[in-house]
Structure 1
Amino acid sequence: MNLILETERLILRPLDITDAEAMFTMDNNPNVHKYLWQKPTLELSETIKIIEMVQKQYVENKIGRFATILKDSGEFIGWTGIKFVNDHVENGNTNFYDYGYRLNEKFWNKGYATEALKAWLDYGFNQMNIQIMNAYTHAQNGASNHILQKVGFHFIEEYPDLEGVIWKWWQLENKSVK
């Protein structure tokens, strides 16, 4: 996949095996997984498998999570992007577009998540013509819930996952697609 998006401070590009070490460092941090599934990555080989899975999604779905890089330093700060969810059911849904992100803890609270989200919404709505963008967050993840609300996502409902953890379902409609 040769798509590259740029924002004022970020480069959003396809994940590559060369991102594995920085991505492993991020995913090995228990704080990063506090509102995920409380299962930090333990081996670099797990990260490599995840990158390979995402690369397969690029081929099959023409979109997926992208490496998010600081323009000024070239540093990998995490991943952001649109995923076409067709590999599982989430809140009774499958075959939908989902926005998601994960950042290394040292890059939290700097506006990078919001900046990337705005770029992805612009791309998803104006280039891919996605009608509805979905997102789901842990109900207690105040930062992520705030970001989604701030850029215009509408809270739809709370729902439990298979383990009883409560999540929030969010949607944003593309007003230019009928």
Structure 2
Amino acid sequence: MTDLDGMFELDSDPEVHKYLGNKPVKQIEESQKILESVINQYKERGIGRWAAIEKSSGDFMGWSGIKLNTEYNMNGFTKYYDVGYRLIKRYWGKGYATESGKASVNYAFNILKLPELYATTEISNQASHHALLKIGLKYVEDFYFEPEQLTLRWYKIENK
């Protein structure tokens, strides 16, 4: 909960939510519910997103990591591990998504021993597309995600 103010800064920014369905949070209580959900993911599934902290300042930059998705059908999958990240705008373009994404893949394959990971981006989000490719994921296909009415790209990486 110490990251609450940072989470609110992150998820209340319309630019951050441009490729996430354009639904930024409006109240800090919404960010609190998101944090509580992440904490519950750890309790229930043993994994969830990590806080991304800038080493030089100790400031919250956003989040990154592995999540076990079981809440909804995503491109035909109802239970899968996903690698993802979301950063406060001032940290964009500095390689943090790629760096944290690579650390997440390493953790998933070498610690959790997962056989594969997946990821999604909104079709127009070229920065995230390039970051996922740098992390090592391969583009698989585009698909329509009905609940959010978005066309998304689907990615996969296998543990070899």
Corresponding residue for residue 127 of structure 1: 111
2:21–2:150 Cα contact (<8 Å) kept: no
- Counterpart Cα distance in 1 of 2:135 and 2:34: 28
Question: Which residue identity does 1:171 align to in structure 2?
Answer: K
CA RMSD of aligned residues (A): 0.8
Matched residue, 1:38: 22
Q: Match for 1:148: what amino acid?
A: L
The answer to which of 154-163 and 96-105 deviates more is 154-163
**TM-score, scaled relative to structure 1:** 0.87
Q: Does 1:71 align with 2:49?
A: no
Give CA-to-partner distance per residue, 1:78-113, whole Å, 9 cap, x none. 000100001111111011000111000000000111
SS in 2 for 1:88: coil
Deviations 1:55-74 (A, max 9, x none): 00001111101110011110
Letter in 2 for 1:170: Y
Alignment of 1:3-152 (within 5 A): 17-152=1-136
Q: In structure 2, what is the equivalent of residue 7 of structure 1?
A: none
Residue 152 of structure 1 and its aligned partner are, at CA, apart by: 1.7
Amino acid in structure 1 at the alignment position of 2:68? F
Q: Which amino acid aligns with 1:37?
A: G
Q: AA paired with 1:95?
A: K
Residue pair 2:143, 2:153 contacting (<8 A) in 1 also: yes
**Identical aligned pairs, as a percentage?**
45
State the distance in 2 between where 1:122 and 1:164 align.
32
Runs of 4 or more above 3 Å deviation: none
Q: Counterpart amino acid of 2:16? A: V
Q: How much does 1:171 deviate?
A: 0.1
Residue 174 of structure 1 corresponds to which residue in structure 2? 159
Which secondary structure does the structure 2 equivalent of 1:117 belong to? Answer: helix
Q: Larger helix proportion, structure 1 or 2?
A: 2
Deviation per CA, 1:142-169: give whole Å up to 9, x if none.
0000011122211111001115421000
TM-score, length basis structure 2:
0.97
Aligned residues: 159
Q: Which structure 1 segments of 5+ residues have no match?
A: 1-16
